[in-house]
Amino acid sequence: MEIWINPACSKCRGALSLLDAEGAEYTVRRYLEDVPSEDEIRAVLERLGLEPWDITRTQEAVATELGIKEWARDAGTRDRWIAALASHPGLIQRPIITADDGTAVVGRTEEAVRDALSR
């Protein structure tokens, strides 16, 4: 499995601690440094079963600058959202854990991380 993290994020550190405590094998991706492409974001969204606006941190300063809260949330604007996430990876909700079964979870809670471990 792979986990997208921001090392400064307490939820990310908590997820890593739980994965370590459970002896999980995983790869860390510091997504602010190793920025996912638009295609990688699309693939993760498919695995999550979510839309880009579902994983966007709309309270971030750059989100305000871009006016993201006002953007439509529909098929016609999906690519615009994905492009914004690829251009401004700090907008991506974290941590995201891709499970071995081809699914993914946003691991912000212990329950979500355990869910990823069980897949």
List Cβ neighbours of 59 (8 Å cut-off, separation of 6 or more): none
12 is catalytic: no
**Catalytic pick among 3, 5, 8, 9:** 9
Cβ-based burial of 27 (10 A; exposed 0-12, middle 13-18, buried ≥19): exposed
Find the angle CA(30)-CA(99)-CA(20) to the nearest 5 degrees.
65
Active site residues: 9
